[in-house]
Amino acid sequence: MGHTRLAAVAGAFYPAESSSLSHLIQHFLTEPPKQASPQALPAHAPKALVVPHAGYIYSGVVAAQAYRLLQPYRKVIHRVILLGPVHRVAVRGLALPGADAFSTPLGSIAVDSEAISRIATLPQVSTSVAAHAWEHSLEVQLPFLQSVLHDFTLVPLAVGDATPDEVAEVLEQLWGEDDTLIVISSDLSHYLTYEQARHCDSRTVQRMLQLDHHIGHREACGATPVNGLLELAQRHRLQPYLLDLRNSGDTEGDQDRVVGYSALAFYEADHAEH
């Protein structure tokens, strides 16, 4: 290790200027929930989130519905386990970045070397600077996390060809206590018509809410890390909640070829209230 992974998609997926970026994120975080009467959520921090990773104009408002849940716990959560699918570089298993920090226009986030030491010897875990260099699925989550959490370290994993069991094993090693949050970055269907996507994405989300860990990659581009979380959610009796479900036809794009976005939160059912 020994270098900082610099922001690669600032100015493309989200604003490159810090004040503009902060203003946009705060706008998203204060946007009223899409659901008219949101379901009651548990009175403690979520253990895991599933959030989209498109450009902010497309999916930022959806991602914010999950990230706003962290604001009351900004001084409780100190470690974020962040998994997203690779888009540019093929990877076998899960890849660490070979960096000791990630930077965005909002500042630098330290990579958690202690947590990484717990998984570095697993056979499905490797290091790939190239896999992380231009990967947006992880990067676009960082400004949101920096905006809602006070002080945290990061365990960033770019997920390639892996089984749900292999992902679940890594997450199990990193599970932690209330100070540890898992974030899975995934969009849903790609390039269907608006109505096709609505039906397809609705079915996919219902399966996720049932903790069905056999989601396909046509249903969710981050199916591999999603399935790993869902498998572990069964084991730990996590309770999932749907926060938002839209597609790019609802936000900023046309309705001929859309991409689906969802925000879900997973809570520990037997959490001891403090």
- Domains in the chain, ordered, with CATH? 44-268 (3.40.830.10)
Q: Do the beta carbons of residue 174 and residue 39 sit within 8 Å?
A: no
Taking the C-alpha atoms of residue 35 and residue 219, their distance in angstroms, rounded to an integer, is 23
Q: Euclidean distance between the first and final Cα of the chain, in Å?
A: 38
CA-closest candidate to residue 97, choices 171, 3, 9: 3
pLDDT in tens, 166-181: 999 999 999 999 999 9
Distance CA 203, CA 177 (A): 32
Q: Is 74 exposed, middle or buried (0-12, 13-18, 19+ CB in 10 A)?
A: middle
- E strand or H helix that includes residue 22: helix 18-29
121-160 tens-digit pLDDT: 999 999 999 999 999 999 999 999 999 999 999 999 999 9
pTM attached to this predicted model: 0.96
Provide the token pair at 144: 């949101």
The Cα 222–Cα 159 span in angstroms is 8
Closest CA to 65 of 272, 264, 273, 270: 264
Indicate the pLDDT class of residue 271, thresholds 50, 70 and 90: confident
pLDDT(1) > 50: no
pLDDT tens string 199-211: 999 999 999 999 9
73 pLDDT band, cuts 50/70/90, is very high
Residue 272: pLDDT above 70? no
The pLDDT tens digits of the residues spanning 240-252 come to 999 999 999 999 8
